[in-house]
Amino acid sequence: MKGITCLSAVVLGSLLISGPSYADPQSDQDDIRAFFQKRFPKVELAGFADGVYAINQNAREQWEEIEEFPPYEDAVDEGQTLFETPFANGKSYADCFPNGGIGIKQDYPKFDTETGQVVTIESAINHCRSTNGEEALPYGQGELAYVSAYMASTSRDNIINVVIPDDERALAAYEAGKKMFYERKGQLNMACATCHISSAGAQLRAEITSPALGHTTHFPAFRFGWDDIGTLQKRYAGCNTQVRAKPFALQSEQYRNLEYFHTYMANGLPLNGPGSRK
């Protein structure tokens, strides 16, 4: 793994960031920001929304050229058409969300105190469909990802504001997501934090590993390996597979909790999705 040096010191830093169980989420957020701003002192906080393109100039120049003719535009247009098409009962997605579903992506995931569960924008889209007599859409890519991408596009530049309410169940969900982020898994015995905290900015084969801070800002994203728009949880499943661990079902409790923790860490960063990534 070329480019990874002083690994023991870096791992110690990530363990300090992970902290004890049931630590204060705000303290977790402060620690992870301090870690990355020390690691990449030339990057302003808002800049981490650009992911690896904030820390590698060559990659950034290529990305900026791609963004001049975004490969996700057709998917967003299709998502808008789907969003605005009424259901069989005459209602639409706009009837299910605050502000008609426009400019709200920055508030997700949310913790639903009635069900005691984390709700992502994608799970809310399918809940909307189900309550209006429509079949649920497959998670990960396709029409659901297009609707989500359109909703994200209406929230671009809004500031992420994920709330953890004063509810023990919400804190437990956050902590479960945090544990999953730091827990090693699979035959390669790697965690999310192994690549995206301990080794952020290092060369891994032909790629530069991206910082965990800001990962959630640009999804759903067009990834060239997918040749399509896909959701954050599709990426989670792909990462699990890459470390030879069995992925969880998309929108499982495990992935929803992981997304809750992961996105809370990005509070205060601007949304810039949908985006394009390798």
| 92-112 pLDDT tens trace | 999 999 999 999 999 999 999
Given the candidates 1.10.760.10, 1.10.10.10, 1.10.10.60, 3.20.20.70, the CATH classification of the domain at 73-153 is 1.10.760.10
Consecutive H or E run containing 203? strand 203-204
User: For residues 28 and 134, what is the distance between their CA atoms, to the nearest angstrom?
Assistant: 40
**Mode of pairing for the β-strands spanning 275-277 and 228-230:** unpaired
Per-residue pLDDT band at 203 (split at 50, 70, 90) = confident
Could you give the residue numbers annotated as active site? Answer: 239
User: For residues 264 and 49, what is the distance between their CA atoms, to the nearest angstrom?
Assistant: 13
User: For residues 278 and 108, what is the distance between their CA atoms, to the nearest angstrom?
Assistant: 24
Consecutive H or E run containing 109? none
The CA–CA distances, whole Å, from 35 to 5, 77, 154 equal: 17, 38, 31
Are 269 and 160 a contacting pair, CB within 8 Å? yes
**Residue 23: its pLDDT value, please?**
62
Which single residue is written with the structure tokens 């730091």? 182
DSSP 29: H
Q: Is the pLDDT of residue 14 over 90?
A: no
Give helix then strand counts, H and E, for the chain: 10, 7
**Mean pLDDT value of segment 105-128:** 98
Listed in order, the ranges of the chain carrying CATH 1.10.760.10 are: 7-70+165-270, 73-153
**Residue 22: its pLDDT value, please?**
57
User: For residues 52 and 59, what is the distance between their CA atoms, to the nearest angstrom?
Assistant: 8
Are 38 and 222 a contacting pair, CB within 8 Å? no
- CATH superfamily of domain region 7-70+165-270: Cytochrome c-like domain (1.10.760.10)
| pTM metric for this prediction | 0.91
**Mode of pairing for the β-strands spanning 117-119 and 203-204:** unpaired
